[in-house]
């Protein structure tokens, strides 16, 4: 069987990495065109071959399986599931599978479902490879009584999170030899695209990004979550990974060129999503026309001592709060060098964390910060029986703030300042007006994803979840004062999530 497989399918370098993953869950995603569906379709040959080889074991061997003989099916209990949201979406993949599977195993049989748009291949060993759809949110119920060795979701962003969670829970086996193969694999583009005239619901369009991408936006890092068995309290780890792909991972040079030229004529948000695999560029993004990941984001570098340093904060307790550390260069480039996200923390706890971080940055000594910066004026509010304000708690613990500019017109002015800084690199030998170190994941997401205000298209939305942009907004106004208003323009598991440790809020621990 392996000779036919090698003849019919040669994985790309990216495909080989995907095939070698050992995590419980994996998302291969990014731009359109790197051959993600083909890789997914060919990801389970190790299971198919394993069951085929068991049929060749000597009679009497405890793990021997029986080949099917035309009247009786083979005895393997392995079952693989390949899913698309609707049946018509399976057409091309199913035709490809018919061509490949019959060449690999001449004895394979295909039984079409009553619906006509999907069906199941039964290999000679008895292994079932099922192609199915899950159009309505509750359609996952028809998979609940089954057990699957592997489940594959193609275009995961088109599925609802409940469908994914429910179907994934049926990955199990009664055959101990198949336990090592248990896995869930998915492929997707960053944007949800409806195909044909199908209509379905995805209640949270960003759930895939939140689950797989937000914890490690650069990808390639295995995340682990500790789970405890109810019966004996033993501990085990569940793992998952996001493996980015771009169009340029496709080894077919002619296809890459043709598809690239086609996409270069598409709207900016589609270019960023389908050409570069950008998960944070969406249609209607207020700053999307100006934000360029390769221009405005970079690896960290040592900040010169001559640069001005400050921090900004949007306070949150029941919701997320966040702090950003900034540096302003002599030529007026504003650099965000660090990001801290917190939730459910008292002011004194946040203050102590700030001092701890700034001592490591050389910006605090003896438990006292040597810098200041703008903060949400919520910290000055007196509530209930509190003996002091949050601002006083910060001061008592070595951290001072100035109040952020929230006067009438400040929101609009800040958005204009950001647009000017995002555009400042245009022209010969110009430096970017703003740079974000790669560890500032949440702020990058907010800037790229922030929508226009539905009541005023000339303003970005000031929604309740845009804490990171709010902190940036305060910093922009503060830096404008520091620079004299001259911006060039041309045509952790402890509840703190810092930099690459933002993954902690999803229940995951350190990277493996």
Q: Which of 9-13, 106-110, 192-196, 272-276 has the highest mean pLDDT?
A: 106-110
Higher pLDDT, 300 or 264: 300
The pLDDT, as a whole number, for residue 505 is 32
- Tell me how far CA of residue 58 lies from CA of 54, 65, 77, 159, in angstroms: 9, 10, 19, 44
**Residues 287-310 as b or e (16 or more Cβ within 10 Å = b):** bbebbebeebbeeeeebeeeeebb
Is 266's pLDDT higher than 90?
Answer: no
Return d(Cα 424, Cα 436) in angstroms, integer: 14
pLDDT in tens, 78-126: 999 999 999 999 999 999 999 999 999 999 999 988 755 689 999 999 9
Please, are residues 150 and 171 in contact by the beta-carbon 8 Å criterion? yes
Q: Measure CA 504 to chain center.
A: 14
Return d(Cα 510, Cα 9) in angstroms, integer: 36
Is 194's pLDDT higher than 90?
Answer: no
Enumerate helices (H) and strands (E) in the chain, giving the number of each: 15, 21
Q: Do domains 2-259 and 293-504 have the same CATH topology?
A: no
Question: Of the ranges 294-303, 408-417, 423-432, which one carries the lowest mean pLDDT score?
Answer: 423-432
DSSP string over 277-339: --TT--TTBSSTTT--HHHHEE---PPPTTSEEEEEEE--SSS-EEEEEEEE-TT--EEEEEE
Q: What is the mean pLDDT of residues 207-214?
A: 90
Return d(Cα 192, Cα 185) in angstroms, integer: 18
Question: Of the ranges 67-81, 222-236, 420-434, which one carries the lowest mean pLDDT score?
Answer: 420-434
What ranges do the domains of the chain cover? 2-259, 293-504
Q: What is the mean pLDDT of residues 30-47?
A: 86
Specify the 3-state DSSP secondary structure of 235: strand
Helices in 62-198 by DSSP H: which ranges?
Answer: 91-104, 161-168
Which CATH number is correct for 2-259, 3.60.20.10, 1.25.40.10, 3.40.50.300, 3.20.20.150?
3.40.50.300
Is 487's pLDDT higher than 50?
Answer: no
- Reported as type and span, the H/E element at residue 184 is strand 183-188
- Tell me how far CA of residue 254 lies from CA of 12, 16, 259, 261, 394, in angstroms: 15, 21, 9, 11, 60
The pLDDT, as a whole number, for residue 498 is 59
The pLDDT, as a whole number, for residue 381 is 83
The pLDDT, as a whole number, for residue 386 is 57
Q: Across-strand partners of 29? A: 188, 244
Q: Which of 207-221, 278-292, 444-458 has the highest mean pLDDT?
A: 207-221
Q: Across-strand partners of 23? A: none
Computed over every residue of the chain, the mean pLDDT equals: 86
Which CATH number is correct for 293-504, 3.40.50.300, 3.30.420.280, 3.40.140.10, 1.20.1630.10?
3.30.420.280
Higher pLDDT, 70 or 223: 223
Q: Which of 34-43, 168-177, 204-213 has the highest mean pLDDT?
A: 168-177
Q: What is the mean pLDDT of residues 63-82?
A: 93
């Amino acid at each position: 069987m392996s000779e036919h497989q090698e003849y019919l399918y040669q994985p790309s370098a990216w495909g080989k990495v995907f095939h070698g993953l050992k995590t419980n869950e994996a998302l291969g995603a990014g731009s359109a065109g790197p051959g993600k569906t083909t890789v997914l379709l060919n990801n389970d040959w190790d299971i198919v071959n394993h069951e085929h080889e068991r049929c060749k074991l000597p009679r009497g061997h405890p793990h021997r399986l029986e080949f099917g003989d035309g009247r009786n099916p083979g005895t393997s209990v392995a079952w693989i599931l390949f899913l698309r949201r609707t049946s018509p979406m399976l057409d091309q993949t199913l035709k490809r599978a018919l061509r490949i599977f019959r060449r690999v195993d001449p004895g394979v049989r295909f039984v079409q479902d009553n619906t006509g748009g999907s069906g199941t291949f039964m290999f000679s060993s008895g292994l079932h490879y099922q192609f199915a759809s899950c159009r309505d949110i509750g359609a996952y119920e028809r998979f609940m009584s089954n057990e699957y060795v592997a489940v594959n979701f193609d275009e995961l962003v088109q599925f609802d999170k409940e469908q994914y969670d429910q179907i994934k829970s049926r990955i199990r086996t009664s055959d101990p030899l198949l336990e090592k193969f248990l896995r869930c694999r998915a492929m997707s583009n960053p944007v949800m695209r409806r195909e044909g005239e199908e209509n379905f619901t995805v209640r949270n369009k960003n759930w895939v990004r939140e689950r797989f991408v937000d914890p490690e936006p650069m990808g390639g890092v295995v995340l682990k979550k500790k789970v405890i068995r109810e019966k004996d309290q033993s501990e085990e780890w569940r793992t998952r990974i996001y493996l980015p792909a771009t169009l340029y991972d496709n080894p077919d040079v002619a296809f890459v060129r043709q598809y690239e030229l086609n996409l270069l004529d598409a709207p900016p948000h589609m270019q960023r999503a389908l050409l570069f695999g950008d998960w944070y560029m969406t249609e209607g993004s207020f700053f999307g026309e100006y934000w360029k990941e390769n221009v405005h984001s970079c690896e960290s570098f040592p900040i010169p001592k001559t640069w001005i340093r400050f921090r900004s904060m949007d306070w949150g307790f029941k919701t997320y709060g966040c702090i950003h550390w900034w540096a302003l260069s002599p030529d007026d480039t504003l650099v965000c060098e660090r990001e801290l996200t917190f939730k459910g923390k008292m002011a004194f706890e946040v203050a102590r964390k700030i001092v701890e971080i700034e001592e490591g940055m050389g910006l605090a000594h003896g438990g006292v910060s040597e810098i200041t910066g703008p903060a949400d004026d919520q910290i000055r509010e007196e509530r209930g029986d509190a003996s002091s304000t949050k601002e006083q708690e910060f001061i008592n613990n070595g951290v001072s703030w100035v109040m952020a500019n929230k006067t009438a017109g400040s929101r609009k002015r800040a958005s204009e300042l950001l647009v000017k800084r995002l555009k400042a690199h245009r022209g010969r030998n110009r430096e970017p007006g703003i740079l974000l170190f790669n560890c500032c994941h949440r702020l990058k997401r907010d800037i790229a994803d922030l929508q226009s205000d539905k009541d005023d298209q000339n303003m970005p939305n000031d929604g309740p979840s845009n804490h990171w942009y709010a902190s940036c907004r305060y910093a922009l106004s503060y830096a404008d004062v520091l620079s004299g208003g001259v911006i060039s323009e041309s045509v952790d598991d402890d509840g703190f999530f810092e930099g690459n440790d933002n993954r902690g809020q999803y229940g995951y621990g350190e990277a493996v």
